[in-house]
Amino acid sequence: MRGRVAWILFFFLTTGIALGERSSTVAFDRDASAIEVLKHAWHPDTVWERIGKTKFVWSATVRNNSEIRKRVFVYYDLLDARGVPLARNVANRFIDAHQTVDVTSDSYIMSDDLPGVKSSRVTIRVGFP
């Protein structure tokens, strides 16, 4: 029972609900307009023939142009010619105010879909997904 009470207290204090802080501050923290993607790239890596998948590695250089530290979620999509995602991955980082970071991660795509990849896209979200 004590654990449940502690969790509920933790939830309310960290979200600001108990202190009445659910205001524009929270909405501003989730505003992704101050986050800039400077560049991004990807490349295929290891081929897993037995399962028909290929590992791909991606990276994005992201800048926080705001005055506050933000938790940034970087969604990376590999797209076909029509802009339909063939594979997706997400990574997150805390980025201090006016800092630039490289976010790197990897994921898998079906090997048969790899020739259909014509472009890639980065989407940024801030705060909890």
Q: What is residue 22's predicted lDDT score, i.e. its pLDDT?
A: 43
Name the DSSP class of 127.
S
Query: Along the 129 residues of the chain, how does pLDDT read in single tens digits?
Result: 665 655 554 554 454 444 444 434 444 467 888 999 999 999 999 999 999 999 999 999 999 999 999 999 999 999 999 999 999 999 999 999 999 999 999 999 999 999 999 999 999 999 865
Q: How far is CA 2 from CA 6, 16, 51, 59, 97, in A?
A: 6, 21, 46, 43, 38
| Contact assessment for residue 79 and residue 114, using Cβ atoms and an 8 Å cutoff | no
Q: What is residue 29's predicted lDDT score, i.e. its pLDDT?
A: 64
| The CATH number, out of the four listed (3.40.50.12160, 1.10.3760.10, 2.60.40.10, 3.40.50.720), of the domain defined by the range 34-126 | 2.60.40.10
Q: Where are the domains of the chain?
A: 1-30, 34-126
Q: What is residue 23's predicted lDDT score, i.e. its pLDDT?
A: 39
Task: Name the 3-class secondary structure at 72.
Answer: strand
**Beta pairing partners, 3:** none
Q: What is residue 24's predicted lDDT score, i.e. its pLDDT?
A: 41
Q: How far is CA 41 from CA 44, 56, 79, in A?
A: 11, 11, 13
Q: What is residue 61's predicted lDDT score, i.e. its pLDDT?
A: 98
Q: What is residue 90's predicted lDDT score, i.e. its pLDDT?
A: 97
